[in-house]
């Protein structure tokens, strides 16, 4: 097709589309009192802008460009403009999504998001292939198998690190403080159940690490916590480590929080239409401790999704002090919407709120106590033992000073 043909094609197409979309977009504006920001005029202008841009690309780009690819890029870009949890799925990706969501045969053990045109590691699963290869939360993935990362979505970014066991992936990452990008090779492995570690510290304090959540995790935690209660009736305090934990669903979070808050509210979700908020509570029979010993929850920027829900519930019910860094703010409720050609978009339709109504999605949780920053130049890598972990020691100090019970009102 000649460029000129393409141009008039776009003009023609978009004119009819304009009328169509103008109508559709105008409808909700007349509806609820919380009127959307978009007016018919706005969308008309926006669409005219899109048609102008596509026309210029079609005519002037250095080589002819496949229209389908361009449109897919546009749809990806639209969804990326919303938030990191919203994605466009090609028909093939959507079929796979429907088959089994994220349970890939093997993976790298990375929780990634695509934000501001960068693929960023939110968390690196403890002991997983990526962790062993030396990747760290906050790393930016620049290249995958030599290919520059561009125009991805969070879903697609995650998929690049899934596949048959034994698949070797080369990645180039950029990390703050490194003068040169880091080249790393990792091998995909089936994801084992999370290694929950419960460790006693001197003076009858317990440390519990939850690296990520799976469906069986709440039950496993229930067992661990009950044993702890039985074996250490004089337990003086508990440290729950939810740093670098960005994998966990709302349901897994509610069942986990249930062990500590009983039948109180864990989280609520509210969508666009407002009003109809969905409240999730724990169950009385799950409660492990009648009176929870003083508790500190360790959080950081790698704490996201389910782990944020658990942290927020404990914080709002005055059951725990959050210590560390601000959490990521990534626990929106998403929904998939199929499109006519078999593709789909996944979109955040509701935000999560703590029991006291603080919005987690997009905001994160602010810790009660800021974790001590490592001295400049000091390596931020994981310390070999708990005694050398500054935040664990800070949490222990906090518990020993008896300041763990935060009165919130």
Of residues 160-199, which lie at the interface with other proteins (CB under 8 A)? Answer: 174, 176-181
Q: Which stretch binds other proteins (CB under 8 A): 282-290, 320-328, 333-341, 384-392?
A: 333-341
Question: What would the two tokens of residue 331 be?
Answer: 């626990």
Q: Which stretch binds other proteins (CB under 8 A): 123-131, 143-151, 232-240, 312-320?
A: 143-151
Smallest distance from other proteins to CB 221, Å: 30
Residue from 11, 15, 56, 373 binding other proteins (CB under 8 A): 56
Smallest distance from other proteins to CB 252, Å: 21
Question: By C-beta, is 68 or 203 nearer to other proteins?
Answer: 68
Site string for other proteins, 371-400 (x = CB under 8 A): ------x-----------------------
* Contact between 136 and other proteins per CB under 8 A: no
Smallest distance from other proteins to CB 181, Å: 6
Residue from 33, 37, 99, 275 binding other proteins (CB under 8 A): 37
Of residues 336-365, which lie at the interface with other proteins (CB under 8 A)? Answer: 337, 339-341, 343, 345, 347-351, 361
* Contact between 89 and other proteins per CB under 8 A: no
Smallest distance from other proteins to CB 41, Å: 9
Of residues 257-316, which lie at the interface with other proteins (CB under 8 A)? Answer: 271-272
Smallest distance from other proteins to CB 114, Å: 11
* Contact between 148 and other proteins per CB under 8 A: yes
């Amino acid at each position: 097709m000649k460029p000129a043909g393409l141009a008039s094609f776009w003009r023609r197409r978009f004119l009819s589309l304009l009328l169509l979309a103008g109508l559709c977009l105008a409808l909700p504006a007349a509806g609820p009192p919380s009127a959307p920001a978009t007016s018919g005029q706005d969308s008309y202008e926006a669409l005219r802008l899109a048609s102008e841009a596509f026309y210029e690309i079609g005519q002037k780009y250095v080589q002819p460009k496949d229209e389908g690819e361009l449109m897919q890029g546009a749809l990806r870009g639209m969804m990326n403009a919303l938030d990191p949890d919203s994605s466009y799925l090609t028909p093939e990706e959507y079929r796979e999504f429907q088959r089994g969501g994220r349970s890939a045969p093997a993976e790298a053990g990375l929780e990634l998001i695509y934000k501001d045109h960068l693929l960023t590691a939110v968390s690196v699963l403890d002991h997983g292939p990526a962790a062993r290869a030396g990747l760290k939360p906050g790393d930016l993935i620049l290249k995958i198998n030599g290919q520059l990362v561009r125009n991805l979505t969070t879903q697609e970014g995650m998929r690049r690190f899934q596949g048959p066991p034994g698949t070797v992936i080369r990645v180039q990452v950029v990390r703050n403080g490194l003068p040169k990008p880091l080249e790393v090779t990792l091998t995909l492995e089936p994801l084992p159940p999370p290694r929950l570690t419960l460790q006693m510290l001197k003076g009858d304090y317990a440390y519990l690490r939850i690296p990520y959540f799976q469906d069986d995790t709440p039950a496993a935690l229930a067992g661990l916590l009950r044993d702890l209660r039985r074996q250490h009736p004089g337990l003086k305090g508990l440290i729950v480590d939810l740093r670098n934990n960005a994998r966990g669903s709302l349901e897994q979070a509610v069942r986990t929080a249930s062990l500590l808050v009983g039948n109180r509210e864990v989280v609520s979700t509210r969508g666009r239409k407002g009003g109809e908020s969905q409240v999730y509570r724990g169950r009385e029979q799950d409660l492990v401790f009648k009176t929870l010993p003083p508790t500190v929850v360790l959080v950081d920027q790698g704490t996201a999704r389910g782990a944020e829900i658990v942290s927020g519930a404990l914080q709002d019910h005055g059951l725990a002090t959050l210590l560390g860094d601000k959490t990521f703010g990534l626990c929106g409720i998403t929904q998939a919407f199929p499109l006519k050609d078999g593709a789909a978009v996944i979109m955040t339709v509701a935000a999560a709120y703590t029991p006291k109504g603080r919005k987690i999605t997009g905001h994160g949780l602010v810790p009660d106590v800021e974790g001590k920053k490592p001295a400049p130049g000091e390596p931020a890598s994981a310390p070999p033992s708990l005694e050398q972990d500054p935040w664990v020691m800070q949490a222990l100090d906090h518990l020993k000073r008896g300041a763990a019970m935060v009165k919130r009102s």
